[in-house]
């Protein structure tokens, strides 16, 4: 990957990441996040990790972001008032973030990997077969545990998002508006 291409992608990802934090409308935040994640996927491919890069684009942009978008639409969050919060908290957050970035810069400029990585990786680097061999030999147990994790997540998500049974009234002050609204669900 030539340097100018990296700089372009890095600038794009940082600008869109700032968009995630600074946009008011959650849908705009989500669109900025999609741009960031796709840029990171392209960076993966540029690094030679082709399989992981395509997985990134398919899994994140294709699945997770659509889930976010559905939830934003379901909850009708565009109508939400602009984010509130105390100014002191924001100031403190910005100072903490600046301190963190300074610290990470100090670490990463000391890292011995400043030399360019080997120009010619192994021929099968980043291929499906290389990933699969590692996944099903060294990481087999972790891979199997992942399936249990996903099963637990699916069951938990369904159990949490399921409508409460009719006998348990939702704990909310204005019950009338709530009842009127729940007709539409």
3-state helix, strand, coil split of the chain in percent (to 5) is 75, 0, 25
CB 136 within 8 A of CB 143: yes
- The smaller minimum CB distance to other proteins, of residues 160 and 166, is found at 160
Contacting residues for 45 by C-beta, under 8 A, at least 6 apart:
53, 54
Q: Centre a 10 Å sphere on the Cβ of residue 41 and count the other Cβ atoms it contains.
A: 21
180 near other proteins (CB under 8 A): no
List the structure tokens of 92.
């403190």
29 near other proteins (CB under 8 A): yes
Rounded Cα distance between 94 and 148, Å, is 38
- Encoded one letter per residue, x for contact with other proteins by CB under 8 A and - for no contact, window 94-123 reads x-xx--xx--xx-xxx-x-xxxxxxx-xx-
67 near other proteins (CB under 8 A): yes
Please give the helix or strand (H or E) that residue 123 lies within, else none.
Answer: none
- The smaller minimum CB distance to other proteins, of residues 161 and 166, is found at 161
CB 28 within 8 A of CB 16: no
- The smaller minimum CB distance to other proteins, of residues 107 and 166, is found at 107
Q: Centre a 10 Å sphere on the Cβ of residue 53 and count the other Cβ atoms it contains.
A: 20
Q: Smallest distance, Å, CB 166 to other proteins?
A: 13
What part of residues 127-166 is at the interface with other proteins (CB under 8 A)? 130-131, 133-135, 138-139, 142, 146, 149-150, 152-154, 156-161, 163-164
179 near other proteins (CB under 8 A): no
13 near other proteins (CB under 8 A): yes
66 near other proteins (CB under 8 A): no
- Encoded one letter per residue, x for contact with other proteins by CB under 8 A and - for no contact, window 34-63 reads --xx--x--xx--xxx-xx--xx--xx--x
């Amino acid at each position: 990957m030539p340097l100018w291409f990296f700089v372009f992608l890095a600038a794009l990802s940082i600008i869109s990441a700032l968009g995630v934090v600074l946009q008011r409308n959650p849908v705009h935040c989500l669109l900025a996040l999609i741009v960031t994640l796709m840029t990171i996927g392209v960076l993966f491919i540029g690094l030679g990790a082709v399989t992981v890069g395509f997985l990134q684009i398919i899994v994140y942009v294709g699945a997770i972001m659509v889930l976010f978008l559905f939830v934003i639409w379901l909850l009708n969050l565009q109508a939400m008032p602009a984010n509130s919060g105390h100014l002191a908290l924001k100031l403190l957050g910005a100072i903490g973030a600046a301190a963190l970035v300074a610290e990470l810069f100090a670490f990463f400029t000391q890292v011995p990997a400043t030399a360019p990585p080997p120009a010619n990786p192994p021929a099968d680097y980043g291929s499906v077969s290389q990933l699969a061999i590692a996944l099903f030999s060294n990481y087999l147990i972790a891979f199997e545990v992942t399936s249990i994790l996903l099963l637990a997540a699916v069951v938990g998500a369904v159990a949490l998002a399921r409508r409460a049974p009719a006998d348990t009234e939702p704990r909310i002050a204005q019950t009338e508006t709530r009842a009127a609204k729940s007709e539409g669900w």
